[in-house]
Structure 1
């Protein structure tokens, strides 16, 4: 038996003001689209904005449904829309912002596991990392250089090809 140690490095910015201009502008788009989320059940609103290699920006927000598994997270709405509108164009980075109608979300909110897996698939296909920035309503912003920083043990094509 041997132990496997997994480490990751994330960058934490104290506020939007510390971000590079391009990233700050993308995060503002995520904040703005978050306000239009359809979240009548959880009251938890998430907005996502991504920028592609061709400098197009694609946004998404969470879309809930009374049949809870039928809803879709903001990150997947944005990434699937990018795949539909701009196939074969790489994603450079994504910004995510979360808020609640019931309380202040002050902690940077990373994507759920399903979104991480979906983003990994796109990262794997484009053979280049996707920088990911995430925050709550205000305050600190966390940056991951790659989806692999948030999902170090990946399940992708290589796993299925070994079956």
Structure 2
């Protein structure tokens, strides 16, 4: 038996003001995406902004449904929009943020496993890592490169695509 260790590298910023202008702008666009969240059940709004290699930015917000599994997270709303309207255009970076009036969110929220798996599929297709920023409104920002940092045992099976 071998005991192995996985570690990740990421950057932590105290606030948006420490970020490069392009990253700051992406985080603010994710914050803007919160306005279109449909979250009458959880009251937990999530917004994402994704910058593409062609210069376009796509926004997504969580869309709930009374039949809970039928809703969709903000990240997948934006990613599937990109797949349908900008096929073949690489994703450079994305920002994710959240807000609720029910409690104080004091640290950045991260994407769920299903969203990470979809993000990994996009990385696989474009053969290039995606930079991700997790932004806490009026607070800390975490920045990392590559979905495998968050989902180290991502499901990838190249033989299925042949």
The alignment's TM-score, normalised by the length of structure 1, stands at 0.95
Paired residue total: 161
Q: Alpha carbon RMSD of aligned pairs, Å?
A: 1.2
Segments of structure 1 that go 5 or more residues without pairing to the other structure are: none
Matched, 1:71 2:68: no
Counterparts of 1:1-163 in structure 2, within 5 Å, are 1-158=1-158, 160=160
Shift in Å, 1:159:
7.4
Q: Provide the C-alpha distance between the structure 2 equivalents of 1:158 and 1:87, rounded to a whole number of angstroms.
A: 19
Residue 4 of structure 1: how far off its partner (Å):
1.7
Structure 2 stretches lacking a partner, 5+ long: none
- Secondary structure of 1:153's counterpart equals coil
Cα deviation per residue 1:21-51 (whole Å; 9 max; x = unaligned)?
0111111010011122000011100000000
Contact kept in structure 2, 1:64 and 1:70, CA below 8 Å: yes
The answer to whether the Cα contact below 8 Å between 1:49 and 1:94 also exists between their aligned partners in 2 is yes
Q: 1:115 to 1:159 in 2, by over 3 A?
A: farther
Instruction: Call closer, same or farther: CA 1:3–1:160 in 2, change over 3 Å.
Output: farther
Alpha-carbon separation, structure 1, partners of 2:4 and 2:84: 38
Contact 1:106 1:138 in 2 (8 A): no
Q: TM-score, normalised by structure 2?
A: 0.95
